[in-house]
Structure 1
Amino acid sequence: MASGQGRRFGSNKLLAAVEGVPLYRRAMTALAGAGLDRLAVCSPYPEVLEAGAALGFLSLPNPGAEEGISASIRLGLSAMGGMEGVLFSVCDQPFLTTDSIIRLLHSFEQSKNAICALSWQGQRGNPVIFPADLFMELAALTGDTGGGAVIRRHPERLALVEAGSPRELADLDRREDWLFHS
């Protein structure tokens, strides 16, 4: 999901670089190496969509991005028909690794009924994989409500998968978050 308006950041943070690489490219590169069956990027930004296409992602223009995260969820789900589950990832976690994504995927493959979320010391983070039977609930979300609402309705199904380090779950939302990472 690469549709954020960057309100807390003050501009389109997806184009900002961490260690010389734009946020959106760091996220797409980590995901592209994980062996997922289908990749899609939802974004209103042409630069992000073009980069996604070059990396093998379905590029889904998101004209409803101002509605909030639910618009990206619905758009992404529309391209995932026939899948057993869908992994939702954000683009503002610059240190997310392919290895942790693969561990998350393996956990989901072991129990396709679970909602699998990357975590650190029991704290849920992103990305999250939702099984197909929850797609309708995800598609019914509106506004700036994300998958956390579905997780709260099904806490017994949540399986936490430990990230390689706490740094992987750090997201950069405000300019001050960048002081230590750019």
Structure 2
Amino acid sequence: MKRVAGLILAAGKSERMGSPKPLLRIYGRTFLEHIASEAQQSNLTEVKIVLGFRAELILERLPQLRQYVIINPKYEKGQLSSLISGLKTLEGASLDGVMPFLVDHPFVNRQLINQLVDSFSNHDNPIVTPTYRKKRGHPLIFGDELFPELLNAPVDQGAQVVVRKYQDKILHVETDEAGILLDIDTPKAYQEYVLNRRTLNGD
């Protein structure tokens, strides 16, 4: 099996939400605890967490995660800056790929992670993405051959620059996990999909 590290990107300001997204709750624990726990119990080689805005507050609430944390002092530059911070920390780890988790996409579980790692291990595609009813979601896997491009991509444009460049080489892995499409970045989305447990079908 290929060696894939998980990077949980949780450094942003959460401006649209109005409070730190890593500390919102799902399944009886915070978003950050849930993603970290599922990632750590999966087939990922290692898991790191990238914090920035309100990092000390988050670590005061979740001190057990401190050992996994990387601080991104440039978090205001966007998500890609956090991915770059994580990749730089992982340099020399002999990895085949990296799986970035977005903290506002909390509906992940170890079964999904393992499905993606298995697919990545059995194919040579540089990017793997889960799909639900043929729609792309998160988390993705980037192969190590793309690390230099991610490290040098324009921070204001994000990793999507690299995704678009390799559009025809992406491996799509169909799942039955509708949650891969859900972005919980506003109070309304949190109320609907987390507190009220609304599904994508409106059930």
TM-score, normalized by the shorter chain, greater than 0.5: yes
Whole-Å separation in 1 of the counterparts to 2:59 and 2:150: 23
Equivalent residue for 2:188, pick from 166, 172, 176: 176
Residues 1:104 and 2:116 aligned together: yes
TM-superposed CA distance for 1:7, in Å, is: 1.5
Structure 1 unaligned regions, length at least 5: none
Equivalent residue for 2:34, pick from 26, 38, 42: 26
Q: Which runs of 4+ in 1 moved over 4 A?
A: 47-53
Residue type matched to 1:22 in 2? Answer: T
| Aligned-partner SS, 2:184 | coil
Residue type matched to 1:102 in 2? Answer: N
The answer as to whether partners of 2:129 and 2:138 remain within 8 angstroms in 1 is yes
Structure 2 unaligned regions, length at least 5: 1-8, 196-203
Residue type matched to 1:80 in 2? Answer: L
TM-score, normalised to structure 1, is 0.89
Query: CA deviation digits over 1:5-37, x for unaligned, max 9?
Result: 111212212212124321111111111111211
The answer as to whether partners of 2:12 and 2:75 remain within 8 angstroms in 1 is yes
Query: CA deviation digits over 1:58-86, x for unaligned, max 9?
Result: 31011111111121011011122221111
Partner of 2:81: 71
Query: CA deviation digits over 1:71-115, x for unaligned, max 9?
Result: 101101112222111111111222211100100000110124330
Instruction: Summarize the Cα distance change of 1:79–1:52 in structure 2 as closer, same or farther, 3 Å threshold.
Output: farther
Residues 1:5 and 2:17 aligned together: no
Q: Calculate percent identity across the aligned residue pairs.
A: 26
TM-score, normalised to structure 2, is 0.81
- 56-65 or 43-52, which moves further after superposition? 43-52
CA RMSD of aligned residues (A): 2.1
Counterpart mapping for 1:25-104 below 5 A: 25-44=33-52, 45-48=55-58, 54=64, 58-81=68-91, 82-104=94-116
Residue type matched to 2:170 in 1? Answer: L
TM-superposed CA distance for 1:50, in Å, is: 7.1
Instruction: Summarize the Cα distance change of 1:6–1:144 in structure 2 as closer, same or farther, 3 Å threshold.
Output: farther
Whole-Å separation in 1 of the counterparts to 2:132 and 2:18: 28
Partner of 2:176: 164
TM-superposed CA distance for 1:128, in Å, is: 0.8
Whole-Å separation in 2 of the counterparts to 1:125 and 1:179: 21
Partner of 2:155: 143
| Aligned-partner SS, 2:150 | helix
